[in-house]
Amino acid sequence: DAGITQSPRHKVTETGTPVTLRCHQTENHRYMYWYRQDPGHGLRLIHYSYGVKDTDKGEVSDGYSVSRSKTEDFLLTLESATSSQTSVYFCAISDRVSYGYTFGSGTRLTVV
Amino acid sequence: GIQVEQSPPDLILQEGANSTLRCNFSDSVNNLQWFHQNPWGQLINLFYIPSGTKQNGRLSATTVATERYSLLYISSSQTTDSGVYFCAVRDGSEKLVFGKGTKLTVNP
């Protein structure tokens, strides 16, 4: 979707290294989310943000941190990547008028 | 937490057939959405439907909140309808809980 972009699209990293994934939106939506998608688990919420510098944990937040210094950017950081964090990561944005969610194209992260 | 179950897990159709996908949820919800994940991984929001019925072209959805289920109807299916269909609900928190999805394959 043109209003939300994720970078990088693919990344391979080594165990123990830090990794930052970026989500950028041009829709000026207040709410932003990070999900991970794994076979057998569907999509699970990692962290979300309800405004600049306002963030909270989701159901699988251990090992992840987030930051939102501007409305348009939401960063997900793996401080020390582990093989269990190999996954596809999706960013989503939402407004509270339509309640619709728009997802980014995803980042495929492989931790070796 | 709230549980979301989708059925069937897999569905194979011939082009032109109709289908019904079901989503059951365990508690009251204030937000229910249907998504389609295409074979390239892109997630597309189909419907926001916490109650009632909506239609968009060949797709329609009905949610009966009092009975805790939602149905997604696909009529005259096309090969481009293939992918995984997810139901997701929110119970008042910020967490949108996804079901495990129905994988639809439409053969030409």
Helices (H), chain B: none
Strands B59-64 and B69-74: antiparallel
**Contacts with B33 from chain A: Cβ below 8 Å:** 99-101
The overall longest dimension of chain B from CA atoms, in Å, is: 42
Contact A58 B98 (CB under 8 A): no
Determine the pLDDT at residue A97: 61
Nearest CA in chain A to B46: A100
For residue A6, count CB atoms less than 10 angstroms from its CB and return exposed for 0-12, middle for 13-18, buried for 19 or more. buried
For residue A49, count CB atoms less than 10 angstroms from its CB and return exposed for 0-12, middle for 13-18, buried for 19 or more. buried
Q: Which residue, among B2, B45, B85, B103, would best test binding to A if mutated, counting the most A CBs under 10 Å from its CB?
A: B45
> pLDDT (tens digit, 9 = 90+) per residue, A35-59?
999 987 889 999 999 999 999 999 8
A100 confidence band (pLDDT: 50, 70, 90): confident
> pLDDT (tens digit, 9 = 90+) per residue, B2-24?
899 999 999 999 999 999 999 99
Phi, psi at B76, each rounded to 5°: 45, 60
> pLDDT (tens digit, 9 = 90+) per residue, A56-80?
999 899 999 999 999 999 999 999 9
Q: Which residue, among A10, A27, A43, A96, would best test binding to B if mutated, counting the most B CBs under 10 Å from its CB?
A: A43
**Contacts with B99 from chain A: Cβ below 8 Å:** 42
Residue A109: name the closest of A77, A87, A78, A81 by CA. A87
How far is residue B33's CA from residue B21's CA, in Å, rounded to a whole number?
13
Q: Could you please report the per-residue DSSP string of A2-25? A: TTEEEE-SEEEE-TT--EEEEEEE
Output the CA torsion B57→B26→B103→A1 (10° steps): 60
